Amino acid sequence: GQQVMQIPQYQHVQEGEDFTTYCNSSTTLSNIQWYKQRPGGHPVFLIQLVKSGEVKKQKRLTFQFGEAKKNSSLHITATQTTDVGTYFCAGRHTGTASKLTFGTGTRLQVTL
């Protein structure tokens, strides 16, 4: 079936270091969304990418959508302890209307 793989599963960084999580789909995506889930919380929408090769920034976060619309990445510059949580990508495969397929998530731990 349609799958979205995400790597790494877990990353531990020191505050100030950069962090990147990668998302790969088995089929072409019509768009991709990114969510953040704080420990004990629920997923919260961060951003949506729609166009091939699109790049969007939110302060220290940079989101990219691949040219083939099958992969995406989230890069955090100079991590802070407030960045702790699990980051999920979620893609809509072409022709599946509103159905979102979530990646397995990357858990980020940031220490001082």
Partner 1 sequence: EAQVTQNPRYLITVTGKKLTVTCSQNMNHEYMSWYRQDPGLGLRQIYYSMNVEVTDKGDVPEGYKVSRKEKRNFPLILESPSPNQTSLYFCASSFAGTELLTFFGQGTRLTVV
Which residue in 36, 51, 25 sits closest to 83, CA to CA? Answer: 36
SS (H, E, C) 2-35: CCEEEECCEEEEECCCCEEEEEEECCCEEEEEEE
The stretch near partner 1 (CB under 8 A) out of 54-62, 64-72, 77-85, 97-105 is 97-105
**Which positions ≥6 away from 83 have C-beta within 8 Å?**
19, 76, 108, 110
Candidate residues 66, 74, 92, 108; the one interacting with partner 1 per rule CB under 8 A = 92
Candidate residues 15, 16, 17, 44; the one interacting with partner 1 per rule CB under 8 A = 44
Q: Is 68 in the site for partner 1 (CB under 8 A)?
A: no
d(CA 28, CA 45): 21
The stretch near partner 1 (CB under 8 A) out of 14-22, 44-52, 59-67, 77-85 is 44-52
Candidate residues 63, 69, 71, 105; the one interacting with partner 1 per rule CB under 8 A = 105
d(CA 74, CA 36): 11
Q: Is 50 in the site for partner 1 (CB under 8 A)?
A: yes
Q: Sketch the per residue contact string, 16 through 35, with partner 1: x for CB under 8 A, - otherwise.
A: --------------xx-x--
